[in-house]
């Protein structure tokens, strides 16, 4: 007999409301929500869970995760595949226990991890993975030292799981096709340098021509999916907009005019604050040079201004963390804290649920409590719409976690 679960006496976080909606019943059948009602629902053959006035909300979505990154240290980035795999499994388990029932993996995970998740051999969020990110020679994800040469497969030294080097229209087409062939849910591309490792190209240096970007977007669109771009600057973002990129990652150094252009093009902005703050906090431990730390502080401040512009121009703002290594297992929910001075609680929760679902092309499936949606549900002690801090202490306040109709934690 198919499994049914009935949640009763639930206060719901629902789309478009800034206050909890009181006293609902929610019925789950297998892995889908089949009924949401303010009148009592029949519960024959259903397991009844009386929430007793706690908050029932959609599972969280992290739109920028890196499950295979083991360390932030620029001196220690090469690890054996076995260690990466074990660490990835631990990352996924911790992420689910923090309430993230879906993640978009932004470079590193592959079909092997996805298969193990689907088969239940490891536990974690449902995963929309990008495979290896595309970068040009000398680009933002070309992590080779000056004396390293490109291997025949285009891999980038110790970060072979994260990125692949491709130059020119033919090469980027082939690279995109290869990641899509291996099951990538979307394509990740580096369109500028970065702000963390000394070996990275500078964030103001943009890469990939408009023609190359158009070719990548064309390949993704041909498979019914889209491109997400790591990019920081006006020129890079505008090039992405012209090429048809859907998701702009970071964008910390863009102008107000470019943000207005993003609104007109209907793209998503995915700012990632906690990763920058965490890297500043761990600089001494990881050996990050002082000049990089100063750059990170400037990057945070500029990103906060871009966030405010995005709110003004109604750019849909995603919720991503961009965390690496063990820090991801303890800091993922701190992204809520990073946004509290920039946005209200309903807006931030919408970013981590409904807006991210739209970004992932999963409207109606994820990020909502409505009939037909996947049964990805959290029971929270307290009201996150009035006090978002309850989301930052999952051990105390996260009482139940359901993903795909399966309960992974129940302390009710």
CATH number at residue 395: 2.30.40.10
361 in any annotated domain: no
Instruction: Tell me: do 43 and 65 sit in the same domain.
Output: no
Contacts of residue 291, Cβ cutoff 8 Å, sequence gap at least 6: none
Number of compact structural domains in the chain: 2
Instruction: Tell me: do 107 and 227 sit in the same domain.
Output: yes
353 in any annotated domain: no
Domain at 314, CATH number = 3.20.20.140
With a cut of 80, say whether residue 122 has pLDDT above it.
yes
Label residue 128 left, alpha or beta by phi (over 0 means left) and psi (-120 to 50 means alpha): beta
179-206 per-position pLDDT tens digit = 999 999 999 999 998 776 555 666 667 7
Instruction: Report the SS3 class of residue 397.
Output: helix
Cα–Cα separations (whole angstroms), residue 166 to 150, 155, 205, 304: 11, 9, 17, 32
Instruction: Tell me: do 31 and 93 sit in the same domain.
Output: no
Q: What is the pLDDT of residue 200?
A: 60
Q: How far apart are CA 308 and CA 323, in angstroms?
A: 22
Q: Which residue has the higher pLDDT, 95 or 207?
A: 95
Instruction: Tell me: do 17 and 134 sit in the same domain.
Output: no
Q: Which two tokens stand for residue 330?
A: 């303890």
With a cut of 80, say whether residue 410 has pLDDT above it.
yes
Q: How far apart are CA 176 and CA 182, in angstroms?
A: 10
358 in any annotated domain: no
Instruction: Tell me: do 189 and 81 sit in the same domain.
Output: yes
39-69 per-position pLDDT tens digit = 999 888 999 999 999 999 999 999 999 998 7
Positive or negative torsion for Cα 334, 338, 344, 348: negative
352 in any annotated domain: no
351 in any annotated domain: no
Instruction: State the maximum Cα–Cα separation within the chain, in Å, rounded to a whole number.
Output: 69
Q: What is the pLDDT of residue 77?
A: 53
Q: Which two tokens stand for residue 351?
A: 């970013």
Closest to 377 in 3D by CA, of 100, 81, 71, 162: 100
Q: Are strands 377-380 and 398-403 parallel, antiparallel or unpaired?
A: antiparallel
70 in any annotated domain: yes
141-178 per-position pLDDT tens digit = 777 767 776 554 554 444 467 889 999 999 999 999 99
Instruction: Tell me: do 17 and 76 sit in the same domain.
Output: no
Q: Are 142 and 136 in contact (CB under 8 A)?
A: yes
Q: How far apart are CA 91 and CA 68, in angstroms?
A: 8
Q: Which two tokens stand for residue 238?
A: 């505008």
Number of other CB atoms surrounding residue 174 within 10 Å:
15
Q: What is the pLDDT of residue 258?
A: 99
Helix axis angle for 234-243 and 210-222, nearest 10°, is 40
Can you tell me the mean pLDDT for 259-264? 99
Closest to 141 in 3D by CA, of 152, 126, 155: 155
With a cut of 50, say whether residue 75 has pLDDT above it.
no
Last residue of a domain, one of 287, 311, 332: 332
Q: How far apart are CA 361 and CA 353, in angstroms?
A: 12
Instruction: Tell me: do 373 and 390 sit in the same domain.
Output: yes
Number of other CB atoms surrounding residue 96 within 10 Å:
23
Instruction: Tell me: do 315 and 252 sit in the same domain.
Output: yes
Structural domain containing residue 12: 4-58+367-410
Last residue of a domain, one of 332, 355, 389: 332
| Residue position matching structure tokens 């470019």 | 258
Q: Which residues of 358-379 are buried (b: 16+ CB within 10 A; e: fewer)?
A: ebbebeebbbbbeeebbbbbbb
Instruction: Tell me: do 178 and 202 sit in the same domain.
Output: yes
Q: Are 269 and 248 in contact (CB under 8 A)?
A: yes
- CA angle, residues 206, 211, 215, in degrees to nearest 5: 110
Q: Are 43 and 28 in contact (CB under 8 A)?
A: no
Please return the burial class of 124, using the count of CB atoms within 10 Å of its CB with bins 0-12, 13-18 and 19+. Answer: buried
86 in any annotated domain: yes
Q: How far apart are CA 267 and CA 308, in angstroms?
A: 16
Rounded to the nearest angstrom, the gap between the alpha carbon of residue 29 and the centroid of all alpha carbons in its chain is 27
Closest to 49 in 3D by CA, of 21, 8, 83, 15: 8
Last residue of a domain, one of 284, 316, 332: 332
Q: Which residue has the higher pLDDT, 310 or 77?
A: 310
- pTM equals 0.94
Q: Which two tokens stand for residue 1?
A: 């007999």
Q: Which two tokens stand for residue 400?
A: 């139940």
Q: Which two tokens stand for residue 164?
A: 């692949």
Q: What is the pLDDT of residue 159?
A: 47
Helix axis angle for 290-312 and 273-281, nearest 10°, is 160
Instruction: Tell me: do 159 and 283 sit in the same domain.
Output: yes
Instruction: Tell me: do 21 and 155 sit in the same domain.
Output: no
Instruction: Report the SS3 class of residue 366.
Output: strand
Mean pLDDT of the chain: 91
With a cut of 90, say whether residue 208 has pLDDT above it.
yes
Q: Which two tokens stand for residue 158?
A: 């110790």
Instruction: Tell me: do 190 and 217 sit in the same domain.
Output: yes
Q: How far apart are CA 195 and CA 177, in angstroms?
A: 29
373 in any annotated domain: yes
Contacts of residue 183, Cβ cutoff 8 Å, sequence gap at least 6: 110, 111, 114, 129, 131
């Amino acid at each position: 007999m198919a499994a049914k679960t009935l949640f009763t006496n639930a206060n719901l976080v629902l789309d478009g409301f800034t206050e909890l909606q009181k006293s609902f019943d929610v019925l789950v059948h297998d892995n889908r929500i089949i009924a949401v009602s303010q009148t009592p629902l029949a519960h024959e053959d259903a397991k009844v869970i009386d929430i007793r006035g706690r908050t029932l909300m959609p599972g969280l979505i992290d739109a920028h995760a890196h499950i295979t990154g083991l360390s932030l240290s620029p001196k220690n980035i090469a690890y054996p595949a076995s260690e990466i795999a074990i660490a990835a499994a631990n990352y996924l388990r911790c992420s689910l226990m923090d309430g993230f029932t879906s993640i978009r993996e932004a470079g590193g995970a592959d079909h092997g991890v996805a298969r193990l998740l689907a088969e239940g051999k490891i536990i974690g969020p449902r995963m929309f993975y990008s495979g290896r990110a595309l970068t040009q020679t000398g680009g933002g994800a070309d992590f080779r030292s000056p004396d390293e040469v490109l291997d025949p497969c285009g891999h980038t030294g110790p970060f072979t799981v994260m990125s692949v080097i491709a130059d020119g229209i033919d090469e980027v087409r082939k690279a995109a096709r290869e990641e899509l062939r291996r099951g990538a849910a979307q394509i990740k591309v580096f369109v500028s340098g970065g702000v963390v490792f000394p070996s990275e190209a500078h964030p103001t240096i943009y890469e990939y021509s408009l023609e190359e970007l158009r070719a990548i977007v064309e390949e993704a669109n041909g498979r019914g999916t889209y491109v997400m771009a790591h990019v920081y600057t006006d020129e890079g973002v505008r090039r992405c907009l012209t090429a048809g990129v859907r998701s702009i990652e970071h964008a910390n150094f863009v102008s107000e005019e470019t943000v207005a252009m993003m609104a007109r093009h209907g793209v998503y902005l995915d700012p990632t604050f906690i990763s920058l703050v965490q890297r500043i906090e761990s600089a001494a431990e990881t050996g990050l040079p002082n000049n990089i730390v100063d750059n990170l502080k400037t990057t945070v401040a500029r990103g906060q201004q871009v966030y405010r512009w995005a709110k003004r121009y109604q750019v849909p703002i995603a919720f991503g963390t961009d965390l690496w290594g063990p820090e991801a297992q303890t800091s993922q929910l701190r992204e809520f804290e990073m946004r509290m001075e920039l946005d209200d609680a309903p807006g931030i929760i919408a970013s981590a649920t409904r807006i991210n679902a739209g970004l992932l092309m999963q409207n109606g499936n994820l990020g909502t409590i409505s009939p037909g949606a996947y049964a990805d549900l959290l029971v929270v002690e307290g009201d996150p719409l009035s006090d978002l801090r309850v989301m930052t202490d999952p051990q105390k306040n996260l009482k139940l976690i359901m993903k795909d109709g399966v309960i992974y934690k129940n302390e009710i």
